[in-house]
Every structure is written in C-alpha cells, then in structure tokens.
Chain A
Amino acid sequence: MTGSENTAPESRSARVLREIASGGVALTVLSVILAFVIGGILIAATDPTVQQTAGYFFARPTDMLSAVWQSVSGAYASLFRGGVYDFTAPDFQGGIVSLLSSLNYATPLIAAGLGIAIGFRTGVFNIGGQGQMLIGATAAGWVGFALPLPAGIHLIVAIIAGLLGGMVWAGIVGLLKARTGAHEVIVTIMMNYIALYLLQFLLHTPVLRAPGSQNPQTPAEKPTALLFSVFGPNYDLSFGFVLVVAATIGCWWLLSRSSLGFKLRAVGENPRAARVAGINVNRTIVYAMALSGLLVGLAGVYQVLGQNTTGFGSDIDAGIGFNAITVTLLGRSRPWGVFAAGIVFGILQAGSNTMQVAQGVDIDIVTVIQSIIVLFIAAPPLVRAIFRLPAPGSRPRAARSKKVAEAK
C-alpha cells in the first residue's frame, strides 16, 4: 500500500469494470430486449390515442388495445425503416439508405467507444471524450478548410492532425495522473470545459469563423479533405467507416496479441501485481490515455470531414463523447463488442428520426431506451433475476444454458 497514491480506488473501479465486462453475450442481448420492452410500454403510455382510449377502457377495451398495438408496432416498424431497411422504398438503393445512414451514425460512436474501451481495460475512466473530440475536430477541421493542399495528402494531413489533437488532449490527463496522481475523472471533465470554451472563443475570432459571417461557425471544408463515399454517391457510406473497421481490428490486435496490450490489461486487472511483475504502471497509464485520446480524436475527425462537412460549431461533438461510454459498456470493452454496440446505437439514432417524424414518438424515448440498456448492463444481477439466469462462477450449473434455467 505504501508509495502507491491511489491504489484503493483504482482497484475498486477496476473491479467494477471487470464485473461489467465479465457478463456474457446473453446478458447483453437480454438487456437490449428488456430495454425495448420497457421502451414499448413508454411509447404506448405517452401516445395520446392510447391515453384517450384508456379513459373508456371498460366500455370498449378493443380501442385501447388496438391503439397500444398501433403505437408500439408503428414506432418499432419506423425505427426499423429508418435504421435498417426502408421497406417502403421502391428499390434496393432507396431501401438500404437507412442502413448506410445508421453505419455513418455508428462510425464516430465506434471510434470513440474503442478509445474509451482501451481506457477501461487499463482501469482508467476517460470521461473526457467531449473535449478530446472537440480538439481533434478543431485540428482536423482547421487543416481541412484553411490549408490548401493537394488531394490525398490533404485528407491524410487532416486526419493525422485530428488524431494528434485528441491524443495530446488525453495525454495531458495521463501525464497528470502518472506524475501527480490527479484523478482522471476530474481532470478529463475539466478538460472538456477547457476545450469547449476554447473552441467557442476561437469561433468568434477570424481563426475559425467563416469570413463574412457573424455566426459562430467555420467555413465549409475543402473537398480535397473530405472522407469520400466508398461506394459512390448513390450508396453513401463514408470512408470513415472503413477507418473504424481498421481501428477495431487494430484494437483487437493491440489488446489481445501485443505486449503493450498485455501491459494495459495487466494494469487494468491489478496495478499492484503489474508493478510487482515489472510493468511501469505510470507509463502504461500515459500510453492508455494517449491511445484512448487518439481513437476519440478519430471520432472528431469523422465529425468534421465525414458527417458535417459544411462547417462546424461548438456542438460538433454531438454528445458522442458521452454516448461512447454507453457504447463501450454495451460492448463490454471488447473491440468487436464495441463495434457491434456502436452499430446498434447507430441504428437507434438513425431510426429515431423516422420514429419521431412518422409516428410522433417523443425524441426522449430513444434516449430512455439507451439509458435502460445501460442500467441493465450495469446491474447484471437484476437481469439475471428477471430471466432466472444463474450467477457466473457460482455453481457448476452456471455452465448450463439459459433454456435449462427457464425450463424449470
């Protein structure tokens, strides 16, 4: 215990993270299903027709039942239509637009989620996604609209600038933690504010503000710096998605095949044991934060060069810095888990627009569904109790499948 400044809270947070990560795939899927069930109840309860027909339920119950069915099935059908495949579209090209749009929504969530996951696996909570994204986006965006560079090189320079921006912003936190023991949760949150107000300030100066405009927005990115569409203009899937697939493979390799990844995981599992084993814990934490920031910076790059290419304001992070934490939890801090979770959230986001427009479902319902998913994932015993799943590792029965447990 002596000499190590924050071993106790570290090991506790690491244990919580490990417990969250140790749940099975079944638990995750069940959490999502439960969240959709509760979401359905909320959709029905907030539907004006349901409320109206509930008033005379006993006089004519079919009215309310059909209203419930219509609101819930309509809402989830439109979620599918907007997020996966638009079955009302005349051709495949029109139908698949929904899925492509979901993948584009998912791209920054996956990138930032991978970053957060690397932090989690090392036992550090990176809550500073917002700040790292803003700095990454500002760096990449500035290169994108201000520097006249030839096509190809321009994009590469802009991406590198964005990655470095995020890496430096998170690296500062890693250094502070390693050198002074400053808790990363506090510091990353504070760095969020610094990044936000720095960007807001710059948006009122000629550095970032579009010339001839009074609005706090940058000029549009130059076409040479844009993340192009992989399959051409008719099937709009950004090259950014290819980048996050590569990043996912990279993270998987890093965490499960490389020696640095082993060190990261060792520190995450038990920093004291890692230190005894000869791993430089402080240096590993700095590496983890820097890598984390680099990946979050990629999300920022995508935001300015892929998603909002017509100029950005101080809301360019789009809440992804925080949503990515949810994605990471859902993905249980595993690279491919984060990838899948990011796509689920991308579908929810793209589909919620259609759900809102076509069915008039309140926009907050989707946020509620997302939050409930997290709630269930963070509380595995609750989900186990609901579905009568055995606790992992408690008895030999734990190996038995869910079917057996349910059949009892």
Chain B
Amino acid sequence: MSITSKRVVLGGLAVASAVALLAGCASAPKSGTTTAKSSYLPCVIGDTGGFTDHSFNQLALDGVVKAANKIGSSYKKLQAKSANDYASGITSLIGEKCNIIAAPGFNFIASVKAAATANPKTNFAMIDDNSINLPNVKDIVFETDEAAFLGGYAAASYSKSGVVATWGGAEYPSVTIYMDGIADGIKYYNQQKGKNVKLLGWDVATQKGTFIGNFTDQNQAKTVTQNFLDQKADVVIPVAGSLYQGAAAAITGSNSSAVLEGVDADLYNTDPTYKSLFLLSILKKVDQASTDVVEAAASSKTFDNTTYVGTLKNGGVGISDFHDYASKVDPGLAGELATIKAGIIDGSIKVESPATFNK
C-alpha cells in the first residue's frame, strides 16, 4: 500500500519536474526594475460583486488602474468578501496610506462617510451617490436614464415582435433608473412612430418589475429570460451586472433570434464570448469618471469635491456602437438617435426617473 503510494508520488513528481523543465527553459531577461514615478497612491475598494463583474466594480478598478498608469504611480485594490468588510476594508486601505479611495455603490456610503470624517487627509470618490457632503469626498453620479432612453428607443426600433423585456438584479435605484429610461425610450418610439411596442418586466407608474434578487444567480437569470422569450420578447435588457450571461445562455440554448442590450460597460468588448448577441450596450462610464477624478486629485493641490454628474452632454453616459448589428438595424435609426440625444441635451425631450439621485 505505502509502496504504491510512494510510487504514485514519485511518478507525479517526475511528471511535474519534466513539465517544469520544459516550461523553465526561456532565457532570463535583463535585470533592472521599473520604479513608480509618482508617489501618489490611488486605491479602489470593490463590493461582493467582485472586480470581474463586467460592471461597475470592474469599471471602477479599470478607471483607477488607467489613472495610475497615466500619473505613473502604483495602486492598491481590495475586494470586500462580505458586509463586514465594507468599513474595515476602507480602514485597511487607509492603513496602506492611500491618497484617494474610490468606492462604488451604495453599500459603501455609510462607511465612506465615517472614514472621510475620521480621516480628513484621505480623499474619497463615492460612486453612485451624492448624499455625502464633505470637503474630502467627491460624489460621482450618472444620469443613466438619459442613455437608457436611447437604448430603449433602439430596442423598440429593432424589435420585430413588438415585445421588449428588461429585468434587474435587485431593486436598487442604480438599477431601476435604467429601467425607467428604457421604458421612456420605448414610449417615445411608440408616440413618434404610432407603434405599440410593449415592455415586459418593468412598470414605470407602479415602479414594480422583475428582479432576480441578487447579482449572482445565473440559473435564475436564465429562467427569467426564458420566460420573457416565451412571451415573444426579442430584445432583452438585463440590468444586473454579470447576469447577462444567464440571459445569453437562455437565448443560445433555445436557438432564439433574440438579442441583448448590455449595461454599464460595452459588453461587446469586455465579454467577446457573447458578442454576437449584443445589439448595443448602454454605457455608464464609471471608468472614465474615476480616471478623471483620480488624475485631477493627483495633479492639483486642493481637492475638488464638487459632484461629478455623468450626462449625455458631457459624455459620462451614452450608448455603444451597434458593432455587428450596424447593418441589421433600421438605416434611419442612427440619425433618429442623434436627434433624440440632441433633444435630451437641450432639454426638449424630458427623461425622468424617481430613482435619480437627489438634485
């Protein structure tokens, strides 16, 4: 017994060292290390969704990394494992002498407020909230409904069955603001074209709709999407971080011709696995905003705490290209979207959501 197990172990070691032998044959690079040019230290904390969520955690990290590269500094990141890490995670980052800490999502509001009050020398970028009013906290919010309006209009235009569906991860304001914009965009399309495209999964008047209850249950996402496909929806807009993967699985699994719209990031680029399914993505440029804020904070002596509001006007929100669908959408659609965008910017088209941050 022990002899055989020894043989197995020796055999395993032999294989492993053979692999190491083959893998380790490259020549050594020239020594010499690259040192950071700037001592400014930007940091980012992520919530339990994780930095690979293809959504705002990932975008916040991307933004901070980009800013760190631009100013030639290193950066630190920390992902919270549970609700208990929100406050202590920020404390850990402060302990690492971070100059600015980017915190995405309402989960961090209370912790950022407490930490910012206790550490006036550390700056914070609070993403998706503008309730904190402190000299060392810069609030970053987005008029996501403006961009979602365009996404809703495009979905209504593309839909052949006249049914568009949306659903959310959880009933957060940052989610329902998308759904309000989508609903308004479809309504506007119906008014303009005299059509009757229906939206499933969200009712603006009652503020009720379909939610998974979390941002992790891909199976539930698949089931919900399948239900909407069965109701003839041919454009599905999941507002739920990485749960679009479950929606994509439902579409590919049922050989449906339905398409998806992504949210937050341009999912055509960030997740090429499903790129053939994305009509477009509704963009909330958390990355761009956090890059700008970190860069500005690193280069100026005084911290500018005025709230950053991402709008269609300043490019903080928007919609992506149609990518593979450019030839499949109505030829006039791009022009119509440009007109609507101009209308929203000059105020002639009103987009409203009860979920918007307090102005």
Q: CB within 8 Å of B: which residues of A?
A: 54-60, 63-64, 82, 86, 101, 105, 108, 196-197, 200, 204, 213-217, 220, 303, 307-308, 310-313, 315-320, 349-350, 352-354, 356-358, 360, 363, 366-367
Contact = CB atoms under 8 A, between A and B. Distances in A.
Interface in B82-121: 82-89, 91-93, 95-96, 106-107, 109-111, 113-114
Contacts of A101: 88, 91
Given A214-B354, A320-B84, 19 more contacts: A54-B24, A56-B28, A56-B29, A57-B20, A57-B23, A101-B88, A105-B88, A214-B176, A215-B172, A216-B172, A308-B86, A310-B114, A313-B83, A313-B107, A315-B48, A317-B83, A318-B84, A353-B88, A354-B96
A323 B87 CA distance: 20
Interface footprint category on B: 35 or more
B213 A308 contact: no
A311 B110 contact: yes
Contacts of A86: 95
Contact of B85 (A59, A60, A63, A353): A353
Contacts of B171: 204, 216
A374 to B, nearest CB: 17
Nearest to A310: B110
Given A56-B29, A200-B213, A318 B82 contact: yes
Nearest to B25: A58
Nearest to A197: B213
Nearest to B177: A214
Contact of A350 (B29, B88, B110): B88
Contacts of B48: 315
20 contacts: A56-B24, A58-B24, A59-B26, A59-B28, A101-B88, A108-B84, A196-B213, A197-B213, A204-B171, A213-B131, A215-B172, A308-B110, A313-B107, A350-B88, A353-B92, A357-B92, A357-B96, A360-B76, A360-B77, A366-B81
B110 A220 contact: yes
Contacts of A108: 84
A352 B96 CA distance: 14
A92 to B, nearest CB: 16
Nearest to B354: A214
B170 A318 contact: no
Nearest to A57: B24
B76 A308 contact: no
A363 B81 contact: yes
Contact of B23 (A54, A312, A318, A358): A54
A307 B27 CA distance: 52
B355 interface: yes
The 6 closest A-B pairs by CB, nearest first: A57-B24, A310-B110, A318-B82, A59-B28, A214-B173, A60-B28
B78 interface: yes
B199 to A, nearest CB: 21
A273 B125 CA distance: 64
B24 to A, nearest CB: 3
A196 B217 CA distance: 14
A17 to B, nearest CB: 27
Nearest to B129: A215
A315 B83 contact: yes
Interface string B215-238: 000000000000000000000000
A143 B230 CA distance: 45
Nearest to A356: B78
Contacts of B21: 58
A60 B84 CA distance: 44
A324 to B, nearest CB: 13
A352 B79 CA distance: 10
B71 to A, nearest CB: 19
A357 B78 contact: yes
A316 B81 contact: no
Contacts of A307: 84, 87
B173 A82 contact: no
Nearest to B90: A353
B76 A357 contact: yes
B241 to A, nearest CB: 15
Contact of A56 (B27, B170, B173, B176): B27
Contact of B79 (A60, A311, A356): A356
A220 B114 CA distance: 12
Contacts of A303: 83-84
Nearest to B27: A59
Contacts of A360: 76-77
Contacts of B20: 54, 57
A229 to B, nearest CB: 14
A308 B83 contact: yes
A58 B27 CA distance: 8
A312 B82 CA distance: 12
B83 A318 contact: yes
